[in-house]
């Protein structure tokens, strides 16, 4: 439920399945999957929960859960319940990123179609793919005059308009996690995203990027599809 003027907490958590899980008797696995699914679906009725997989093409994680809530404690409670469920006892969390929504200081007068007045609220596009990565600028970036930074950000915006099928979700981590931003691009066409990123490398702002890895390519699933695939 939206709360006008209040920022949202945003979390991208990546999980790895212990190979021992797949050696369990099928009956035990079925029970464990159902317990875990019940937790995920239960919290989906209270907060925003979006399951994805990156199974088979990253060695360090198998699936990702994108969560959005007005209360950070919701992430604590959900994580506890998931990891205490049968399937959850065989999970580790190699990556997890925390951020919040806020209005951009560079593009406060710019909105994407269908997102008017929603910068404080996450509105996923429900595209098949999402590309997630932490992002940090160099210290030199913040020493530049504001107008110069804004001009370079406007260049990013104009390039983004060349790829209308790619939607960016930016959230902010200053002081609450190791990175400065989390960026998550949603699209149904990964080729468009690849071409967009290549062109971004040529822009004036690129030398002011300190870190923009690891990059996670994730495919949207239902909670059941996610659990069935990785187990």
* Tens-binned pLDDT, residue by residue, of the chain (231 aa): 445 679 999 999 999 999 999 999 999 999 999 999 999 999 999 999 999 999 999 999 999 999 999 999 999 999 999 999 999 999 999 999 999 999 988 875 544 444 444 578 899 888 999 999 999 999 999 999 999 999 999 999 999 999 999 999 999 999 999 999 999 999 999 999 999 999 999 999 999 999 999 999 999 999 999 999 999
CATH architecture of 129-217: 2-Layer Sandwich (3.30)
pTM of the model: 0.93
DSSP state, 4? T
* CATH 3.30.70.1030 domain residues, the chain: 9-100+218-230, 129-217
Burial bucket for residue 57 (CB in 10 Å: 0-12, 13-18, 19+): exposed
133/197 Cα distance (integer angstroms): 12
Question: Homologous superfamily of 9-100+218-230 in CATH?
Answer: Apc35880; domain 1 (3.30.70.1030)
């Amino acid at each position: 439920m939206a709360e006008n003027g209040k920022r949202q907490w945003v979390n991208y958590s990546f999980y790895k399945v212990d190979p021992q899980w797949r050696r369990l008797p099928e009956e035990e696995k079925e029970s464990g999957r159902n317990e875990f699914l019940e937790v995920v679906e239960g919290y989906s009725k209270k907060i925003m929960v979006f399951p994805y997989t990156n199974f088979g093409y990253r060695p360090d994680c198998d699936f990702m859960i994108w969560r959005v809530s007005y209360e950070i404690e919701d992430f604590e409670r959900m994580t506890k319940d998931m990891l205490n469920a049968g399937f959850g006892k065989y999970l580790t969390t190699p990556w997890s990123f925390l951020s919040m929504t806020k209005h951009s200081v560079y593009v406060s007068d710019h909105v994407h179609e269908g997102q008017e007045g929603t910068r404080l609220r996450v509105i996923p596009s429900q595209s098949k793919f999402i590309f997630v990565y932490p992002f940090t600028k160099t210290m030199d970036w913040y020493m530049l005059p504001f107008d110069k930074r804004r001009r370079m950000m406007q260049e990013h915006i104009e390039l983004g308009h060349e790829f209308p099928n790619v939607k960016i979700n930016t959230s902010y981590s200053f002081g609450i996690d190791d990175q400065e931003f989390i960026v998550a691009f949603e699209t149904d066409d990964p080729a468009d995203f690849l071409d967009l990123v290549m062109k971004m490398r040529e822009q004036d702002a690129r030398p002011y990027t300190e870190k923009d890895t690891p990059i996670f390519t994730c495919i949207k699933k239902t909670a059941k599809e996610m659990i069935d695939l990785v187990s």
